[in-house]
Structure 1
């Protein structure tokens, strides 16, 4: 196989591949075996037509597409490796020559991983930030613990307040007509959560169980349903029940309930120590992120849009997983918030671009500094993984190998070592 690579733009080029006639012939043979199984020709059993008669009747050209389907997936990856390029998208294939008995020649227009021109990445300075634990931090953590221990109780007398959960029926109408997806029964809605269209939840405050009300709202102009964009809607609402969180007292009994503490003072001390450890980790993460950001800002790189789109895909997928853990799917979230899928993707675009840029720059620094990951490094990481998962080391190794995860671990370790290098060479290094 002969391969040549010609760069035509910053991140694009043309890969020209010449495959010898013998390899093309082999692909045509395999294509014939596949096609002839379904060919009916008088005088021959199905699938038993001789090759010369097939070609005379149908022409060898009838095998070309199947031969391409066989050949291209085999030769393209090999050509990419031989040209030492790193494609980031599917190629555009143009056939230059495809004829029995002659070399097969094709050109592939390829988008490749961009080259990074590194700027300063050593001796960088981190902007100072306060990571001290304050009394407000301690009080806020205790408040969260108190809320987690709270119990939802039905409000026998009273009306809906911010933070309550209202159990309600609702049905929406536009111009007097009910619309699809605008009805719910015995629906639990946390007031102030922002689940519904802006203005809906606020109008429920002050209602008591058994009360009914017409709630008037206007759908956002960017709402996902075309027939509802910017329309005024009236929701007929009936309140069935109100539930409110009843909080326990912050005292010695509370401390004994949430952990192995005799007194509330012991609990407060434990909270403070854990917050200090958390702040220490946050400070370390802040320093590392700052250095990566600065190194990326100092570099020059032109990022193909397809790489950013791919990162957005991953972020949206992760967002969907987070929603599912809360019992909500993406379609429901879109309906509740009035956003479109395009709106959600747009929200991730800036972060996706930044992450893609950072990853490319860290990879370039890793290559420039010859950062290496040893077998001992991987072994140590697998031991940590086994401890975290409370599994045997050999079992973790088998799982990692089965899932092809060793390369991922190696890649993650290389990036971590590269960031360590930035930290140790920063002006703030101790």
Structure 2
């Protein structure tokens, strides 16, 4: 097989491929074996028609598309390897020649991973970040723990307030006509969560158990369902139940319930250490991000739109997975927030481009510095994963190998190693100071 690569723009080129005639014949054989199983030829059972009779009846050309479908993917993959290119999008393929007894010729217009021209990446200035835990931060963490361990008590009397969970029926309509997704029974809604159409939760606040009310809202202008955008809707709401969080007292008994300590003072001391460790990790993350972003800012890259869009789709899938872990999904989120899928993708695009740029720069730095991940480092990471998942390192390796994730693990470790290299070769700048508010500031 012959394959030549010609670049026509910075990230775009054409693969010119010619596949030997014997491989065309082999692909035609496979195509015949596939279609012969279904071919109806008088006098022959399915799958038993001789090849010459099939071709005489239907023509050899009837096999061409199936043969191309068999041969093209493998030929394209081999051509990519020969040309030593890294495609980042599906190719535009133009079939130039395919016939029995002849070679198979095609051209593929391919968008490839861009070239990265590195700027300064050693010696970039990275600000020091202080890791301290204030008394206020400790108290805020204790309040969060109180909220987490609160019990929900049913409120039989009195009106609902922000923070309550109300169990409601609602039936929505526009101009008296019900719309899809506007009805539910015994739905649990946390007031103040802003998970419904703006204005809905505010009007439910103040309702008591057994109350009925018409809640009037206006769908946002950019609502994902275009037929509802800017429309006024009426939801008939009934409150079945109100649940309110009952916070536990912050005392020694609380410490015993949520930790291995006997007193609140001991628990607070341990909690402060945990917070400090978290702050130190966050500070390290801030410094790493600054080092990477400064190196990326100094580089020259023209990123193909296909790479950015692919990253946006990855981010959308991750977001959907997180929503599902919370008992929701992307469709429900878009419905409640009044956004469309395009709106959400648009919000993610800038961050997606930054991620792609940073990763491309890190890959190039790793090449320039000849950084590699050793088998010892792979084994150490597998041991860490084994501890986390309570399985043996051999099992973890087998699982990752079976689903093709070992290479991804190696790439992830190389990125981490490159970030460590950047930070080790950075210059510590002035510490980041927390801005204090003054009486003269508005």
Q: Distance in 1 between matches of 2:404 and 2:208?
A: 58
CA distance 1:142–1:61, shift in 2 (3 Å): same
Contact 2:131–2:280 (CA<8 Å) still a contact in 1? yes
- Structure 1, 177-186 or 88-97: larger mean CA deviation: 177-186
Structure 1: stretches of 5+ with no match in the other structure:
none
Shift of 1:181: 2.1
TM value normalised by structure 1: 0.95
Contact 2:211–2:238 (CA<8 Å) still a contact in 1? yes
Per the alignment, residue 104 of structure 1 pairs with 104
CA distance 1:264–1:75, shift in 2 (3 Å): same
Shift of 1:45: 5.4
CA distance 1:390–1:42, shift in 2 (3 Å): closer
* Partner deviation per Cα, 1:29-86 (whole Å, 9 max, x = no partner): 3223333444444565554444444444443322221221121122111111011011
* Partner deviation per Cα, 1:351-380 (whole Å, 9 max, x = no partner): 111111111111111111111111111111
User: 1:113-262 counterparts in 2 under 5 A?
Assistant: 113-262=113-262
CA distance 1:143–1:61, shift in 2 (3 Å): same
CA distance 1:23–1:278, shift in 2 (3 Å): same
Determine helix, strand or coil for the equivalent of 1:26: helix
Structure 2: stretches of 5+ with no match in the other structure:
430-442
Over aligned residue pairs, what C-alpha RMSD do you find? Answer: 1.8
Shift of 1:293: 1.0
Per the alignment, residue 286 of structure 1 pairs with 286
- Structure 1, 57-66 or 162-171: larger mean CA deviation: 57-66
Per the alignment, residue 79 of structure 1 pairs with 79
Q: Distance in 2 between matches of 1:41 and 1:147?
A: 75
Shift of 1:406: 1.7
CA distance 1:97–1:140, shift in 2 (3 Å): same
Contact 2:208–2:239 (CA<8 Å) still a contact in 1? yes
CA distance 1:208–1:45, shift in 2 (3 Å): closer
Per the alignment, residue 400 of structure 1 pairs with 400
Shift of 1:259: 1.1
Shift of 1:288: 0.8
Q: Distance in 2 between matches of 1:51 and 1:234?
A: 69
Determine helix, strand or coil for the equivalent of 2:133: coil
Shift of 1:107: 0.8
Determine helix, strand or coil for the equivalent of 2:192: coil
Q: Distance in 2 between matches of 1:382 and 1:349?
A: 33
Q: Does 1:355 align with 2:322?
A: no
Contact 2:128–2:287 (CA<8 Å) still a contact in 1? no
Per the alignment, residue 320 of structure 2 pairs with 320
CA distance 1:62–1:213, shift in 2 (3 Å): closer
Shift of 1:15: 0.2
Q: Distance in 2 between matches of 1:270 and 1:33?
A: 71
Shift of 1:131: 3.0
The 4+ residue runs of structure 1 with deviation greater than 6 A are none
Shift of 1:278: 0.6
